[in-house]
Structure 1
């Protein structure tokens, strides 16, 4: 096709991302059209293999990077629009519905809360797994989606199997359950390996020519999702088992930081914190962090007033736990260093030299620092992830709020920090009763009797 000389400039944009360069028109010569590398690649891609054709059809290799940058820049610019009252009402109602539902579940106890955690994990996994799927391709791969659920079931059984085994053993319920379930729990590690083998066999059988790359991408996607969502969030359950406070306090600190950061940022915020979240400001982050640290000590103090919050609960019963408070929840007197105490004496503040605090209040300050400084990056990570896929929310499970993952992004990172912090600083170098019970349960009957006789002799003496 010949292009006449329409502009004095030797080149012009024929279409978005396609640069066409024209030579000077001559009746004796045909016009030479030079295409840019993107258009050339697009034409050459038709000669690729089946997998390359599939990727081109799905739009993976034909994304215009400059257009993406323009869209992201436009997305970060504030848009002036009228207030959406309908969306506000829906969000307001769903927010209070979540609050009252959460309070009701907490009131029902540890077991109901553990069930809630499992349900949220399944919904979050489903939201992320669906993002990586392509319906046009999945139609040509019947039953391949079952791989997602097999990975989910295997991951849940691996992470929760030992916890369930310990819970049943603590209630002396192992002999009352069905023999098949008892076998699954006692052979937990072997069953997990069998599930892995079944998954590998099913995946290989499901491989279909022309879709290899897509299928392996889906496998990697699901494995990474299982680690990021299921494995990390399962630490929340272990925190809950050691006391409701280890579950509620971190979550409340995240909420507190969000509220105060928004209030301070909306009032005096001027400096943008990060490009991924244009509404977040340095002023809001600093102000929210200070308020969260102050509130952390008061929140921790309020939780240790009731044994329902600090008593561990490892069984599956619905009973309210009772226990003697761990030393970490008992207030003790702390005296300030001498050089600080001398300053207080000169200021006639001698009463401030000694503070009565529970160790959990000091730990709560470090939790608040993490919730203010590091945990928000879980939200920023989620924001970048959504921008990469050009979506606003991960799902629509919660009206007005998006998906479960949209509400849990910071909480997952926070719960993981609390779990490892407790192992390192709250109860370091100590083996829990759960771990000892698990080892006793895998012994045969004679060895278990020896352990029982030895403990009986110790108690009698």
Structure 2
């Protein structure tokens, strides 16, 4: 085997001089600090085949889940969130497990439960209002949801304070912060992914597929043409792969959006139908998903030979999404690379052969989810009559009557309704 077919990395965390200074009260256990280097990987072509086969398998499973519907996608997002959280928390636990920190793992999972209860309780209140209204036991949970969430978190906070041990104060607070930052990275972002999904499956599929496309095409271009290193945090990343991935992703996003925009299943907001007890995606597509004629810029007319082109307005937005996925999205991966280098590990886990852990596949996706949510709220989303109606139905009868009278008076003033002959 040729020398370039070998890579070596440290199996466990080994403190640098600076890190040892900061953590001098809690040096790494000797058996971790002195673990030998171990060989990983094989010739690039072997890794290529492993990554390729597993990638096709994951894409196939993803398509199957899309076919099964929105609810299964939500369960997938929740499952990925839990696994990513587990991988990050496990890194901290493996490094410091010899110190036998009391309740660390139990509290970490308890806080995950609390934060999920808060976020998904908010989702239930927003999107399942009519379902909740019909069940008195759920009305109590929704009405006092934030107080219950705070009480649950406060319980965990008190448990943490009670678990403090004199000789481990500093380290316990390090791990407390570790847990909360991990919650911010995983739970908050996965909540935004589901919020994007409720806007329409297309807002879920195009960003995720763009990141996947960029990851694959950047790898291919870098593998065959890569010569110029891109960033020191990821020595294998090259400018050739970065640029090739950018153009490939923009083209893919534009074409993929054209296909999805033709189907109500992908463009309609996901809503819960309390009568059929299932999620539905049926609507009159908005202007974003209705074909329009656009003038081709003069510079491109000479190249394309077209003066106008018919396309969906969403395809213009797909360019913005694909551009972010290609230019900024990779920085989520670079951030993760820096984190792994700080702890001298190659991957977050070994869940997927050739790919590493689940977090290794979704480091860019979480950053993308935040951008999509901000993009929708800033440039796309307007008042939602359906959501407002659901909120009105929760009100007491006298409150509903007051809203009705106010709305009627407003419409009369606007000249939309004729004034009633009877006062």
Deviations along 1:45-104, whole A, 9 cap, x unmatched? 9xxxxx977513547xx989xxxxxx9xx99xxx9954685x777655543432222112
Give the secondary-structure state (helix, strand or coil) at the position aligned to 1:211: helix
Cα 1:323/1:435, change in 2 over 3 Å:
closer
Q: 2:6 maps to which residue?
A: none
Please point out which of 329, 337, 361 is paired with 1:383: 337
Q: 2:141 maps to which residue?
A: 184
How far 1:202 moved relative to its partner? 1.2
Cα 1:89/1:255, change in 2 over 3 Å:
closer
Preserved contact between residue 166 and residue 437 of structure 1 (Cα < 8 Å): no
Preserved contact between residue 101 and residue 172 of structure 2 (Cα < 8 Å): no
Q: 2:78 maps to which residue?
A: 118
Cα 1:144/1:433, change in 2 over 3 Å:
farther
Cα 1:207/1:449, change in 2 over 3 Å:
farther
Give the secondary-structure state (helix, strand or coil) at the position aligned to 2:377: helix
* Correspondence 1:325 to 2:285: yes
Cα 1:80/1:452, change in 2 over 3 Å:
closer
Preserved contact between residue 268 and residue 283 of structure 2 (Cα < 8 Å): yes
Deviations along 1:125-179, whole A, 9 cap, x unmatched? 111112122476467344332211222112112222121122321xx22244461
> Which is worse superposed, 278-287 or 216-225?
278-287
Please point out which of 191, 198, 214 is paired with 2:155: 198
Identify the structure with bigger relative contact order (alpha carbons < 8 Å, sequence gap 6+): 2
1 CA distance for matches of 2:209 and 2:117? 29
Cα 1:373/1:82, change in 2 over 3 Å:
closer
Deviations along 1:241-299, whole A, 9 cap, x unmatched? 01000000011111222222222223322111111222211122112211222222111
Normalised by the size of structure 1, how large is the TM-score? 0.75
Give the secondary-structure state (helix, strand or coil) at the position aligned to 2:167: coil
Please point out which of 370, 384, 387 is paired with 1:432: 384
2 CA distance for matches of 1:425 and 1:377? 24
Preserved contact between residue 271 and residue 281 of structure 2 (Cα < 8 Å): no
Preserved contact between residue 109 and residue 318 of structure 1 (Cα < 8 Å): no
Please point out which of 369, 394, 402 is paired with 2:323: 369
What residue ranges of structure 1 are gaps of 5+ in the alignment?
Answer: 1-37, 46-50, 65-70
Q: 1:105 maps to which residue?
A: 65
Give the secondary-structure state (helix, strand or coil) at the position aligned to 2:128: helix
Preserved contact between residue 311 and residue 323 of structure 1 (Cα < 8 Å): yes
Please point out which of 92, 98, 117 is paired with 1:132: 92
How far 1:113 moved relative to its partner? 0.7
Deviations along 1:210-264, whole A, 9 cap, x unmatched? 1111111111111111111111232111110010000000111112222222222
1:30-429 superposed matches below 5 A: 54-56=25-27, 58=29, 82=43, 91=51, 94-134=54-94, 137=97, 140-169=100-129, 172-177=130-135, 179=137, 181-315=138-272, 317-336=277-296, 340=298, 344=301, 347=302, 352-427=306-381
2 CA distance for matches of 1:321 and 1:58? 55
2 CA distance for matches of 1:194 and 1:277? 43
Give the secondary-structure state (helix, strand or coil) at the position aligned to 1:270: coil
2 CA distance for matches of 1:136 and 1:258? 33
1 CA distance for matches of 2:229 and 2:375? 31
Normalised by the size of structure 2, how large is the TM-score? 0.81
2 CA distance for matches of 1:249 and 1:208? 49
Preserved contact between residue 138 and residue 144 of structure 1 (Cα < 8 Å): no
What residue ranges of structure 2 are gaps of 5+ in the alignment?
Answer: 1-16, 419-423
How far 1:123 moved relative to its partner? 1.0
Cα 1:136/1:257, change in 2 over 3 Å:
closer
> Which is worse superposed, 149-158 or 126-135?
126-135
Q: 2:421 maps to which residue?
A: none
2 CA distance for matches of 1:416 and 1:52? 33
Cα 1:110/1:128, change in 2 over 3 Å:
same
Q: 2:7 maps to which residue?
A: none
Q: Which has the larger radius of gyration?
A: 1
Preserved contact between residue 83 and residue 358 of structure 2 (Cα < 8 Å): yes
Give the secondary-structure state (helix, strand or coil) at the position aligned to 1:356: strand
Preserved contact between residue 300 and residue 361 of structure 1 (Cα < 8 Å): yes
Matched residue count: 392
Cα 1:377/1:434, change in 2 over 3 Å:
farther
* Correspondence 1:450 to 2:402: yes
Preserved contact between residue 28 and residue 96 of structure 2 (Cα < 8 Å): no
